[in-house]
Amino acid sequence: MRATFKTGVILGGLAAIATIAYQQYQQRKTSSDDIDQRPSIDAKRDPAEVGLTQLDSIHRADWQANGFPQTHAELERLEREEN
């Protein structure tokens, strides 16, 4: 085989691998962008997770540690107390 043919095959293979890797990266990136749309994975096991998205579930521990209201009812109660 000629060297130029071998080089072309190798470069073509590398281009194909790079294209596949890029497509997989884009797919993972897209799937992580909609994390605020999907329901919490723990909603079936933990009643406090019902109604939360996966992003909310991730931040829930911080909310609890900082005393943020967990429900709309708590938020409305706090707003009434402020006024």
The pLDDT assigned to 65 comes to 83
pLDDT of residue 14: 92
b/e string for 40-49 if b means 16 or more Cβ within 10 A?
beebeeeeeb
Give me the number of domains the chain comprises.
2
Which pLDDT does position 64 carry in this prediction?
A: 81
pLDDT in tens, 65-77: 887 776 778 888 8
Residues of the chain short of pLDDT 70, as ranges, are 1, 29-33, 70
Q: Whole-prediction pTM value?
A: 0.45
| The pLDDT value given to residue 17 | 92
Judgement on whether residues 81 and 49 belong to the same structural domain of the protein: yes
What integer pLDDT is reported at residue 33 of this predicted model? 67
Same domain? 24 vs 53: no
- Shared-domain flag, residues 45 and 76: yes
β-partners of residue 53 are 39
Residues 32 and 50 in one domain: no
Give the pLDDT of residue 40. Answer: 86
In contact, 17 and 25? CB cutoff 8 Å: no
Q: 68 and 83 share a domain?
A: yes
Helix intervals (H) in 1-83: 3-33, 54-66, 72-82
User: Do 45 and 13 share a structural domain?
Assistant: no
Clarify whether residues 46 and 82 are in a common domain: yes
Q: Are residues 21 and 43 in the same domain?
A: no
- pLDDT at position 32: 62
| Structural domain containing residue 17 | 1-36
On whether both 29 and 65 belong to a single domain, the answer is: no
